Amino acid sequence: MSKTNISGNKHLSERDQKHLWHPLTQHKVSPEMLAITRASGARIFDEDGKEYIDGIASWYTCMYGHCNEAITSKVARQMQELDQVVFSGFTHEPAVKLSEALMEILPENQQKLFFNDNGSTATEIGIKMALQYHHNLGNDRKVMLAFEEGFHGDTFGAMSVSGLSVYNGAFKDHFIAVVRIPVPNGENNTEVVRKLKELVSDYKIAGFIYEPLVQGAAAMKMHDAKGLDDILRICKENEIVCVADEVMTGFGKTGKYFASDYLETKPDVICMSKALTAGLLPMGLTSCTQEIYDAFYSEDISKGLFHGHTYTANPLACTAALAGVELLTSEEIQADIKRVMESHRRFAEKIKDHPKVTNSRQLGVIYAFDLNVKMERYGNLRNKLFKYFMDQGVFLRPLGNTIYISAPYVISDAELEKIYSSIEQVLEEF
Ligand SMILES: *Cc1c(COP(=O)(O)O)cnc(C)c1O
C-alpha cells in the first residue's frame, strides 16, 4: 500500500526505490531513503513536514546556512547573464573575481588556481600536479606519501592515497604507488619522523598528501600541529610536493580560513571543495605556488596540465563561491564562528568527565567525542544512534561510535542547545 506525503502525492521515498542507486549505500540492508523537500538556515524538512537541525551542514558544505539569500540571489542574477561557457580559450568575470577574492584568504605562497568539479577531482589534480611536477623536471619520482587513515575521495588517484576501507578495497590492485605514515599524535612524533626518513631514503617520493589537523572520514580524528609541521619541513627539505587536502577543513571550519594557517610550513598545493561553493553547486579548486606552476610553463605543449572537466569554472558555481568568500570574511560570519566555537567549548567542558565520553576534541566549529559503550550490546551502534538523533529532529551522522557536530556557522543558540540536549539524552539512554 502506497503512503502519501503532505502534498498528497505518493511518497518520494517509495518512488525512489524503483530506479535510484544511492552513494555509500548497501541497498539490501538500507532500502529506504528519507525524502527532503525543503531547507532553510540550519534546518531541513522532510516530505511529511518533519524538521531536522542539520548538525553536519550537509557534509560540511552549507556553512552559511541552506538557501542563503545573499548567495541564491547572486546566482539567480548570474544565471540570466551567462550560464556556462568553455573555460579553455575563454574566461569570465565570476572566475576572475573569485580568483582575486581567494588570493586574499589563501596562505600567501599560493598563486595559481586550477578548477575542477568536486573534492575527489581537487585531490586528483593535487596528485597529478605533484607527479607531473617531478616528471617535467626530469626527476624519477613516482610514489605518493600519505597518512595511514586518510580519506581523499573516490576517484582512482584519490582512492589510492586514502587508507584502505570498504570505500576502496575492491580496487586496490589498480592503485598508484603509495607509502604511508601514521598521523602524529604528540606522543609518537619522533617515531613518525623516523618512519618518514626511512621512506624518504627507500622510495622516490614525489608528493605528500594530507588532511591538515582533522581527518573527517576517519571519524574527525585530530592530530598534532607540531608533529605535522615536522613532517612538512622534512618533505620540503627533500623536495616532496606538499599537497594539503583542505576539502573538509577549508573555509573557516577550524576557526581560521584554512587549517594550514595553523602550521608554519605552508603547502605547495591546496585542494578545496565542499564549503567552497557554500553548499549551492558542486565545484572543486586546486591552488598551487608559482614554483609548481612554473614547472608546467613551457613552449613544450606536453609539459602542460592536460586535464579539463567540461564544466570547469562554471560561472554559476564561481558566483556561489564568490558570495561564500564574501560571507566568510564578513564580521557577522566571523562572529558566528567565534560564538559556535565558544558554545562547543562550554558543552565539551560540561560533558568531558562523563563516563561514556572519551577523546573529547574540538578544533574551530568541529566538535567530536567517542561514545564509550559496549558496542556488542547494540548490533549496529552507528545506525541506532543515527535513528535516535533523527527521531529527535537532529541530523547528526555518527561514524562508528564517534559523535560529531559540524553545523552551519549561522546555527542559532537554541538549535545548538537542541543538539546538545539530544547528545546528553544519548549519554543517559545508551
Ligand atoms: C569529502 C572529501 C573529499 C572528496 O570530496 P567529494 O566532493 O566527495 O568528491 C576529499 N577529501 C576530503 C578531506 C573530504 O572530506
In this structure, the residue with its CA closest to atom 15 of ligand 1 is: 248
| pLDDT tens digits, 25-51 | 999 988 799 999 999 999 999 999 999
Give CA–CA dist 422/60, Å, rounded. 20
Rg of the chain, C-alpha, whole Å: 22
Extract the C-alpha cell encoding 316: 554559476
Q: For residue 64, what pLDDT band results from cuts at 50, 70 and 90?
A: very high
Residue 55: is its pLDDT beyond 80?
Answer: yes
Q: Does ligand 1 have an atom closer than 6 angstroms to the CB of 247?
A: yes
State whether the beta carbon of 46 lies less than 6 angstroms from ligand 1.
no
- Chain-centre distance for alpha carbon 331: 24
Q: Does ligand 1 lie within 6 Å of residue 216's CB atom?
A: yes
Q: How far apart are CA 67 and CA 60, in angstroms?
A: 15
Give 152-173 pLDDT, tens digit per residue. Answer: 999 999 999 999 888 888 999 9
149 lines ligand 1 (CB under 6 A): no
- pLDDT score at 357: 98
What mean pLDDT do residues 74-103 have? Answer: 98
CA 171 to chain centre: 22
26-30, 102-106, 254-258: range with lowest mean pLDDT: 26-30
d(CA 240, CA 249): 22
Confidence of residue 375 (pLDDT cuts 50, 70, 90): confident
Q: For residue 295, which of 116, 117, 128, 105 has the smallest C-alpha distance?
A: 128
Instruction: Name the amino acid, one letter, at 172.
Output: K
| pLDDT for the residue numbered 30 | 85
- Closest residue CA from atom 11 of ligand 1: 152
In whole angstroms, give the CA distance from residue 408 to residue 54. 8
Indicate the average pLDDT of the chain: 96
pLDDT at 1 over 60: no
How far apart are the CA of 28 and the centre of ligand 1, in A? 25
The angle subtended at Cα 277 by Cα 275 and Cα 281, nearest 5°, is: 120
Tell me what pLDDT residue 2 has.
Answer: 66
Q: What percent of the chain has pLDDT over 90?
A: 93
